[in-house]
Structure 1
Amino acid sequence: MEDLLYLAHRIPYPPNKGDKIRSWHILQHLAARYRVHLGCFIDDPADWQHTDMLERLCAGTFFAPLPRLRSRLRSLTGLLRGEALSVACYRDAAMRDWVRATVAAVKPRTAFLYSSQTGVYLDALSGLRTVMDLVDVDSDKWAQYAKAQSGPMRLLYEREARTLGRFEAQVAGQVDACLLVSEPEAALFRDRVPQAAGKTFALTSSVDTDRFSPARGYPDPFPAGGPMIAFTGAMDYWPNVDAVCWFAREILPLIRQRVAEARFYIVGFKPAPEVQALAGLPGVTVTGAIADTRDYIAHADCIVAPLRVARGIQNKVLEAMAMEKPVVISRHAAQGLTGLQPGEVAVADTAASMAEAVTAVLSGQPGMPDGQAARRRVLANYGWEANLKVLDRVLQP
C-alpha cells in the first residue's frame, strides 16, 4: 500500500453527524486502499472519545485541539492579515509541524485535503499530488448570509465572502484537483474560478442506504397524537436555525389551521437559544441531542427542509428519501439534487406554498411525494460505492 496524507478541518467521526458523514465515508474508502496518515482538528470535547478508533484505522494520526476561544482569537488575526476569518482560525503551528514531519518521514506521494481551510498547509505539501475537497463553495454561502443580515453583520459577512472567494481561487491554483459536493456546485465553482475548470469535479455526496432503510425496525419516539412533522440537523448551524424559526413561526400556524393536531419536532444537537425559544410555541418540540435521528425520521408523517440559505446536497433530505418518507423542501434545499422527477419530493418556497404541500401530505391528498419513488432515486444516484469512484480517478490519474 502507498502512504497518503489526509488533512481535515474537523475529526471525520462520528458518521451520524451531518458535517462528518462525507469526510468519514471518504476516510473509510481511502483507508482500504492506502496507509492513511490523518491530521485533523477537534473543536468539540465530546469527540476525543473517537480518537482510539481512528488510530486503529490509520497508519498515523495527529489531533489538534481547537477550543472555541482559541478559534475566535485566531479568527481575529484574519482581520489584521486581510484574510477570511474562517481560514485564519485553522493556522496552527503544531499541525504545520506534524504535516512537515510526516511528509519528511513517510514521503507520501499523495495528499487529500478536506475543506478549504486546510489549504493553509499547502506550502508544506510541495511535490505531492494534492486533491482538495472544497465540499461547497463556501464563499457563496457567506454571500447568501450577508443578504439575510443588516448593519455590521452584513458588512462582516460580505467581507468573508470576498476574502474566502479569493482564498478558494488561490487554493484551486495550487492543487491538482478540486472536488465539490454536487455537479451544480462544481459548475458554480468552474464559473467563479474558470482557470480551475479543467480540474474541478463533482464527488456527489451520498447516503448509506442500508443504514437508512425502511426495512429496519425503529422504536417510535413520538408521544400519542400527531400527525408529526420533523426537521433533523445540527441546531447550532445558522441555516438550520433560520429554517426552523421560519417554519415554526410562519408555516406551522398555517398548517394547524387545517390540521389542528399537527406537531413540529426539531431534532438535533446543540439547539441555539433562538431554537430553544421555539419550544414555547403551540405544537413545537425541541429535542436537543438524541441517540438516533432514524427513529424520528421513520415515524414522522412528513420530513421538511425549509432552508432559505443552503449549499450543496442536504444529508437530511437524502436520509429521509432513503427511508421512503414524504419530503417537502425549499428550492435552496433541492438545488444540489440532480435527476429528480415529479412525485419524488415536493418543492415549495413561500410560507403559503410550503404549508399547502405539508398539509396535503398530512391529509393524504393524491399527487404528493411517493416515498418508494424517492428511495429509488437515492439508490440510482446517491450510493457511496459508485460515487467514490471519482475520488479514485483523481488520486491516480
Structure 2
Amino acid sequence: MRILWIKTSPLHPLTRGGDLRTFNLLRHLHQRHEVSFVGMTADAGQVMGTQQAGEFSTHAVWAHEPKASLQLARWKFLAGALANVGSALPYAVARFKSARLRELLSVKLKAERFDVVVADFLFPAASLPWELKGESRCPWVLFQHNVESMIWRRRAEGKKGAVARYYQSQRDRMLRFEREASSRFDGVLAVSEEDARIFNEEMRLTNVLGVVPTGVDLDYFQSVPRTRAAVPTVVFMGSMDWYANVDGVKWFVQEVWPLVQREMPQAKFIVVGRKPPAEIEALATSGRNIEVTGTVPDVRPFLRGADVIVVPLRIGGGTRLKIYEAMAAEVPVVSTWIGAEGLSVEDGRHVLLADSAEDTAAQVLKVLRTPAFGAELARHALEEVARPCSWAAAADIFETACVGLKRQGSGA
C-alpha cells in the first residue's frame, strides 16, 4: 500500500508514549509498504528529529510552525488560551491548526495517489483539506491514542471557580470536536477496548474499526543487565513536559513519598524524563532523596536498576506504554487504576493498583520490604507481557483494518 501518514510533530526524540507507539508500528509497516510522512516542526529540537524519519518512512515532508522560546512560550500559551475563549475549537486542537500543514497536504493529495490516509491522533483533523477527501478515492483513518475528551473531563474534576469553568468549557468543546471530527473519517482505530467502547457507545460513532493493542520489544528491555542500587530505589519514567506526568509526580511527592520515607528514610525516588519544569527540577534540591534526571540517552539502566516503578497518574487516556516497558524489564509496578487503564493486567498478579496515598505507599513499601514478593510479581508480569502482542503483530492488525477499508471502498 501507499500510506499517507499525518502527525503534528516528528517522532524523534522517542521520549513520549504516543511517538513510541507510532514509531514501532510504522517501522514494521514501512518494511512492506510505502509510507509518506507529513508532519510539523516547531523548534530546532524538532527539526533535528526529522533527520531520523528514514527509520520509519519512505518520504517525509514538514510544515514548520516556529515556536517562541520557553520563557515566551509560557506567556504565549496563556495568551493563546485566553484568545481561545471565544473559539469553537478546543485550545488543545486550535494550537496545532496550521495553514502550512493544510497546504502541504493539499499539494500532496492532488499530486499523488494513496491507498489510505492516516491522521495520527485527533489534532491533525483541524488542518486536513476535507474538500479533497472524495477526490482522494481512498479511506481516511483516524488513529486515536486517547479519548481526548476523557482527558479534559478528568482535568476538570476537582477544579473550582474560573479555573473550573475554563476546564469545563474546554472539555465540552473537545467532546464536540472529537465526536464530529471522528465521524468524518472512514474508520477510527482505538488503542484499548475501553476507548473503543466510549467511541461506540458514548459518542455513538458507527465507524470504529477496532483496537490496535499496545506492544513491547521484550528483547530490547531484557538486553540490559538487572542491577541493584545500594538503597531502595523507586523510579518514575515519563516525559515531564506532559501535564499528566507532572501532576502525577507532584501528587506522589507531596502525598505518598513522605509516607514511604517515614518507614524507609534511606529510600530514593528518581524522576526520569525529558524537559522537567522548574517545579519538578526543584525536587532534586529539596533534601528528600529525590533525583531528577531530565533527558537520558537510554531509560533501560534506570528501569533495570529500580526496585519498583510507580505510575501515579490521575489524568490520562489510552494506554501507558511505560507499564508494559517496566513489565518487560521485569520490574515490579505500582500504579493508579487510571495509570493501568486499558492494559491487560491483573491487580495483585501482574501489577499492584492503588489510588489513595496511603494505599499507594503501602504497596510501594510491600515491594521494597519483601524482594521475593516483588520478584514473583515481576515474573508474572514478564510472562503476561510476552504473550499478548508484539509490535509486529500490532502492525499486522493495523494493516488488516486499513486493507479491509480499502477493499470495502473498491467493492472487492
Give the TM-score normalised by structure 2: 0.88
**Which stretch has the larger CA shift, 334-343 or 158-167?**
334-343
Q: What do residues 101-135 of structure 1 show as CA deviations (whole Å, max 9, x unaligned)?
A: 11111121310110111112050433321110121
CA drift of 1:305 comes to: 0.6
1:199 to 198, 203, 208: 208
CA distance in 1, matches of 2:316, 2:99: 33
CA drift of 1:180 comes to: 1.4
CA drift of 1:275 comes to: 1.1
1:287 to 265, 282, 293: 293
What does residue 190 of structure 1 align with? 200
What does residue 22 of structure 1 align with? 21
1:344–1:8 distance in 2 versus 1, CA, 3 Å: same
What does residue 191 of structure 2 align with? 181
CA distance in 2, matches of 1:342, 1:184: 21
CA distance in 2, matches of 1:175, 1:116: 11
Superposition pairs for residues 187-266 of structure 1, below 5 Å?
A: 187-196=197-206, 198-213=207-222, 215-217=223-225, 225-266=230-271
CA distance in 2, matches of 1:76, 1:33: 46
1:111 to 110, 117, 133: 117
Secondary structure, counterpart of 1:344 in structure 2:
coil
What does residue 141 of structure 2 align with? 131
What does residue 384 of structure 2 align with? 377
CA distance in 2, matches of 1:331, 1:132: 27
1:345 to 348, 351, 359: 351
1:148–1:181 distance in 2 versus 1, CA, 3 Å: farther
1:173–1:19 distance in 2 versus 1, CA, 3 Å: closer
What does residue 408 of structure 2 align with? none
Moved over 4 A (4+): 69-78, 365-369
Task: Answer yes or no: is 1:158 the counterpart of 2:165.
Answer: no
Q: What do residues 142-186 of structure 1 show as CA deviations (whole Å, max 9, x unaligned)?
A: 110111433333222211111111111112221111111211121
CA distance in 2, matches of 1:302, 1:270: 23
CA distance in 2, matches of 1:43, 1:203: 29
Q: What do residues 190-248 of structure 1 show as CA deviations (whole Å, max 9, x unaligned)?
A: 2222132x5242111222222112x4337x6x9x6311100011112111111111111
CA distance in 2, matches of 1:83, 1:393: 33
Task: Answer yes or no: is 1:356 the counterpart of 2:362.
Answer: yes
Secondary structure, counterpart of 1:331 in structure 2:
coil
CA drift of 1:56 comes to: 7.0
CA distance in 2, matches of 1:122, 1:175: 12
CA distance in 2, matches of 1:165, 1:92: 21
Residue identity (%): 26
**Which stretch has the larger CA shift, 265-274 or 10-19?**
10-19
Task: Answer yes or no: is 1:394 the counterpart of 2:401.
Answer: yes
What does residue 278 of structure 1 align with? 283
1:364–1:56 distance in 2 versus 1, CA, 3 Å: closer
**Which stretch has the larger CA shift, 364-373 or 127-136?**
364-373
CA drift of 1:78 comes to: 4.3
What does residue 146 of structure 1 align with? 156
Give the TM-score normalised by structure 1: 0.91
What does residue 323 of structure 2 align with? 317
Q: What do residues 367-388 of structure 1 show as CA deviations (whole Å, max 9, x unaligned)?
A: 5561111011111124212222
CA distance in 1, matches of 2:43, 2:385: 31
What does residue 58 of structure 1 align with? 57
CA drift of 1:347 comes to: 0.8
Gaps of at least 5 residues in structure 2 are: 405-412
What does residue 3 of structure 1 align with? 2
Check whether the contact 1:144–1:309 (CA below 8 A) recurs between aligned residues. yes
Task: Answer yes or no: is 1:95 the counterpart of 2:104.
Answer: no
CA distance in 1, matches of 2:236, 2:386: 22
CA distance in 2, matches of 1:148, 1:312: 21
1:16–1:234 distance in 2 versus 1, CA, 3 Å: closer
Check whether the contact 1:307–1:332 (CA below 8 A) recurs between aligned residues. yes
CA drift of 1:18 comes to: 2.4
The one-letter code sitting in structure 2 at the alignment partner of 1:7 is I
CA distance in 1, matches of 2:50, 2:249: 33
CA drift of 1:54 comes to: 1.4
CA drift of 1:366 comes to: 6.0
Secondary structure, counterpart of 2:16 in structure 1:
coil
CA drift of 1:80 comes to: 3.9
Check whether the contact 1:340–1:377 (CA below 8 A) recurs between aligned residues. no
Check whether the contact 1:245–1:278 (CA below 8 A) recurs between aligned residues. no
CA distance in 1, matches of 2:55, 2:213: 28
Check whether the contact 2:15–2:274 (CA below 8 A) recurs between aligned residues. no
The one-letter code sitting in structure 2 at the alignment partner of 1:130 is W
**Which stretch has the larger CA shift, 270-279 or 95-104?**
270-279
CA drift of 1:74 comes to: 6.6
Aligned length: 391
Check whether the contact 1:343–1:367 (CA below 8 A) recurs between aligned residues. no
The one-letter code sitting in structure 1 at the alignment partner of 2:208 is K
The one-letter code sitting in structure 1 at the alignment partner of 2:337 is R
**Which stretch has the larger CA shift, 253-262 or 59-68?**
59-68
CA distance in 2, matches of 1:95, 1:387: 28
Gaps of at least 5 residues in structure 1 are: none
Q: What do residues 260-286 of structure 1 show as CA deviations (whole Å, max 9, x unaligned)?
A: 211111111111122122221412111
